[in-house]
């Protein structure tokens, strides 16, 4: 048996890294078990000319397609949207686009404001100092003064707008709609040992330059220097409990596939909105027959995935194409509820650059825009670098039937039951999507684009996995309390995207990490009486 640790963190992704770094100052014995490995920057696809092809093989966004040693299969055949993730040190931040908006204050109060879903047990003001701390740790670039949200002072200057951004900005000014340069966790100057962005594109399958802030190069080196141990290639099978019903540690498979037991005083789950409910549901015992922390029956329920339509158009003159980070501008013009519309809540418009030439060729050939034969290259040149793409982040409200359960048949490489996803897009979301698609088309037309087409759900994006162990004050209606502690098991905490009560209409990582830092802070404040 391994020696006991004070805190066992499971999962070394966005939230696991933040909580490890924050708790490190206590000098407790802290261990993190992560099922995947470290990724070496030299191995990133960006170093080779086949970088786009590798987005469909070893760096695919969908775990079943990647099917690496660290990946567990996901049965999402009954889901309107597919799961995207990355399993390794860094978690989703290895593959994310580093778009870094925050929740609005209204996102924490949707029941009070719109009579739907539930209010969060905490508010924006509670998280504000942790949002700021996280911006410093990740190195966020942006421009202060965005009128659409509370004050924000990013530590780094904004990314350049480029030709694409200027084109969008002119169109938005003509329409009179809100826009702001996107906040991005991308170094625009040297920052904390990281080199600045050199606008190569390729951000999604990892940034070999180290400009994109994945947590393997931000939080983890500092946490490890401060004494935290991170054990990679260790997959946790289940959390164990003692005679008092407290978490006692975890059973995991080490890098050689050997089953081990890791005892711990406190267990912190950071496996994301699919991995965390999977682990809790796999942790059954006579005392917890429905899975751990599940007396409410809510573990796995209320899954939110953010429907993310994309609207594409082509302009005559060549723009940036894929030369530079994907995000350019962001609009919150339609973010808040407007009673004149036929849906509640709202959406963010992400006005972006595009991916590379192979993606252009494959998608355009499939859509019939790009013929084979002697016209192929001439038409390709009129498409590549002429494309504009607007992604739309739609707020997805929690619904109990959207859920993660255990698949009765599918198992991972260690024989552990795999997750199954059942998910439909609600009527409110569908109305919101149609409204947003029409607005995005207006923007593209105003920007001079033609040949416009829409994908209502884009395969394998956006990888936002939220809501499956939500926080709240009432143990019958939530899984963890207002500071991430399980209602049922007093020394079990959850810090990842599972604890979201609602999903907002923005990319979630800034809010996930601010929450993880806030929960760590609450744990530190209550160390003396943590389990009372």
Lookup: tokens for 54: 């590798």
Question: For ligand SF4, which is the closer residue by CB, 186 or 425?
Answer: 186
Question: For ligand FAD, which is the closer residue by CB, 155 or 417?
Answer: 417
* Closest to 392 in 3D by CA, of 347, 453, 346: 347
Query: Which of the choices ligand SF4, ligand FAD, none does residue 85 contact, using the CB cut-off of 5 to 8 A by kind?
Result: ligand FAD
236-259 per-residue burial string, b: 16 or more CB within 10 A, e: under 16: bbbbbbeeeebbbbbebbeeeeee
Asked if 251 and 261 touch (Cβ cutoff 8 Å), the reply is yes
Asked if 234 and 274 touch (Cβ cutoff 8 Å), the reply is no
Question: For ligand FAD, which is the closer residue by CB, 220 or 314?
Answer: 220
* Least CB distance to ligand FAD at residue 55 (A): 9
Which of 7, 8, 14, 480 binds ligand FAD (CB under 6 A)? It is: 14
Residue 404 lies near ligand FAD (rule: CB under 6 A): no
Asked if 249 and 242 touch (Cβ cutoff 8 Å), the reply is no
Which of 5, 8, 11, 171 binds ligand FAD (CB under 6 A)? It is: 11
* Least CB distance to ligand FAD at residue 11 (A): 3
* Closest to 405 in 3D by CA, of 525, 507, 301: 301
Site string for ligand FAD, 511-530 (x = CB under 6 A): -x------------------
DSSP secondary structure code for residue 157 in this structure? P
Question: For ligand SF4, which is the closer residue by CB, 200 or 251?
Answer: 200
Asked if 90 and 216 touch (Cβ cutoff 8 Å), the reply is yes
Edge-to-edge strands, sheet with 180-181: 180-181, 327-331, 347-352, 387-394, 310-314, 450-455
Instruction: Please give the Cα distance from 41 to 356 (Å, whole number).
Output: 20
Q: Taking the CB of residue 342, how many other CB atoms lie within 10 A of it?
A: 10
Query: Which of the choices ligand FAD, ligand SF4, none does residue 199 contact, using the CB cut-off of 5 to 8 A by kind?
Result: ligand SF4
Question: For ligand SF4, which is the closer residue by CB, 303 or 330?
Answer: 330
Residues of the shown chain interacting with ligand SF4 in the complex, contacts defined by CB under 6 A: 46, 186, 197-203, 207, 209, 211-212, 324-325
Output the DSSP codes for 31-59. Answer: EEE-SS----GGGSGGGSTTTTGGGGTTT
Question: For ligand SF4, which is the closer residue by CB, 68 or 160?
Answer: 160
Question: For ligand FAD, which is the closer residue by CB, 320 or 496?
Answer: 496
Which of 95, 156, 281, 492 binds ligand FAD (CB under 6 A)? It is: 95
Distance between start and end Cα atoms, the chain: 28
Torsion sign (Cα): 162, 168, 169, 170: positive
Query: Which of the choices ligand SF4, ligand FAD, none does residue 142 contact, using the CB cut-off of 5 to 8 A by kind?
Result: none
Scan residues 17-36 and list those touching ligand FAD (CB under 6 A). 33-36
Phi-psi region of 385 (alpha: psi -120 to 50; beta: other; left: phi over 0): left
Which of 464, 470, 485, 487 binds ligand FAD (CB under 6 A)? It is: 464
Instruction: Please give the Cα distance from 354 to 304 (Å, whole number).
Output: 26
Question: For ligand SF4, which is the closer residue by CB, 10 or 211?
Answer: 211
Q: Taking the CB of residue 144, how many other CB atoms lie within 10 A of it?
A: 9
* Least CB distance to ligand SF4 at residue 84 (A): 18
Q: Which residue has the tokens 């490190």?
A: 24
Of 134-142, 254-262, 269-277, 469-477, the window that binds ligand FAD (rule: CB under 6 A) is 269-277
Q: Which residue has the tokens 């070496």?
A: 40
Lookup: tokens for 128: 């504000």
* Least CB distance to ligand SF4 at residue 377 (A): 26
How many residues of this chain bind ligand FAD (CB under 6 A)?
42
Beta strands in 362-466 (DSSP E): 387-394, 403-411, 417-423, 450-455
* Least CB distance to ligand FAD at residue 248 (A): 17
Nearest residue (beta carbon) to ligand FAD:
13
Query: Which of the choices ligand SF4, ligand FAD, none does residue 217 contact, using the CB cut-off of 5 to 8 A by kind?
Result: none
Site string for ligand FAD, 277-306 (x = CB under 6 A): --x---------------------------
Question: For ligand FAD, which is the closer residue by CB, 332 or 386?
Answer: 332
Site string for ligand FAD, 481-510 (x = CB under 6 A): ---------------xx---------xxx-
- Count how many Cα atoms sit within 13 Å of the Cα of residue 257 in the half-sphere of its side chain: 6
Scan residues 98-137 and list those touching ligand FAD (CB under 6 A). 98-99
Question: For ligand SF4, which is the closer residue by CB, 209 or 296?
Answer: 209
Binding site for ligand FAD (CB under 6 A): 10-16, 33-36, 61, 84-88, 91-93, 95-99, 204, 235-236, 270-272, 275, 279, 462-464, 496-497, 507-509, 512
């Amino acid at each position: 048996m391994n020696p006991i640790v004070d805190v066992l963190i499971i999962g070394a992704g966005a939230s696991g890294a933040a909580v490890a770094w924050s708790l490190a100052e206590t000098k407790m014995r802290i261990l993190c078990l992560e099922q995947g490995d470290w990724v070496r920057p030299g191995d990133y696809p960006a170093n080779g000319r086949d970088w786009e092809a590798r987005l469909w093989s070893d760096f695919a966004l969908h775990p079943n397609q990647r099917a690496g040693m660290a990946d567990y299969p996901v049965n999402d055949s009954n889901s309107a949207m597919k799961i995207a993730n990355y399993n390794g040190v860094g978690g989703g931040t290895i593959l994310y686009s580093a778009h870094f908006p925050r929740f609005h204050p209204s996102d924490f109060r949707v029941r009070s404001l719109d009579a739907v879903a539930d209010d969060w047990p905490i508010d924006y003001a509670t998280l504000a100092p942790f949002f700021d701390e996280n911006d410093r740790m990740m190195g966020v670039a942006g421009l202060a003064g965005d009128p659409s949200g509370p004050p924000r002072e990013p530590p780094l200057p904004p990314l350049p707008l480029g030709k694409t951004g200027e084109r969008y900005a002119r169109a938005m000014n003509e329409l009179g709609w809100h826009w702001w340069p996107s906040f991005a966790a991308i170094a625009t100057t040297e920052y904390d040992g990281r080199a600045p962005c050199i606008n190569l594109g390729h951000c999604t399958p990892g940034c070999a330059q180290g400009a994109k802030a994945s947590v393997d190069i931000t939080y983890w080196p500092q946490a490890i220097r401060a004494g935290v141990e991170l054990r990679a290639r260790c997959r946790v099978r289940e959390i164990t409990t003692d005679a008092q019903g407290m978490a006692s540690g975890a059973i995991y498979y080490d890098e050689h596939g050997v089953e081990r037991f890791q005892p711990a005083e406190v267990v912190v789950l950071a496996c994301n909105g699919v991995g965390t409910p999977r682990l809790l549901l796999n942790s059954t015992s006579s005392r917890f027959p429905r899975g751990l922390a599940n007396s409410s029956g809510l573990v796995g329920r209320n899954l939110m995935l953010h429907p993310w339509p994309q609207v594409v158009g082509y302009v005559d003159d060549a723009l940036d194409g894929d030369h530079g980070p994907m995000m350019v501008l962001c609009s919150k013009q339609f973010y808040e509820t407007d009673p004149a519309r036929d849906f509640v809540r709202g959406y963010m418009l992400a006005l972006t650059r595009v991916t590379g030439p192979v993606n252009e060729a494959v998608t355009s050939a499939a859509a019939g825009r790009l013929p084979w034969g002697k016209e192929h290259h001439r038409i390709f040149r009129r498409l590549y670098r002429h494309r504009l793409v607007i992604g739309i982040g739609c707020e997805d409200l929690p619904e109990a039937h959207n859920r993660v359960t255990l698949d009765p048949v599918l198992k991972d490489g260690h024989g552990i039951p795999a997750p199954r996803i059942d998910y439909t897009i609600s009527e409110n979301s569908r109305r919101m999507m149609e409204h947003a698609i029409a607005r995005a088309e207006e923007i593209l037309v105003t920007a001079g684009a033609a040949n416009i087409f829409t994908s209502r759900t884009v395969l394998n994006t956006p990888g936002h996995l939220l809501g499956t162990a939500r926080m709240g004050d009432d143990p019958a209606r939530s899984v963890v309390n207002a500071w991430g502690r399980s209602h049922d098991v007093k020394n079990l905490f959850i810090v990842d995207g599972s604890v979201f009560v609602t999903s907002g209409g923005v990319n979630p990582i800034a809010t996930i990490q601010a929450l993880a830092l806030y929960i760590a802070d609450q744990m530190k404040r209550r160390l003396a009486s943590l389990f009372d």
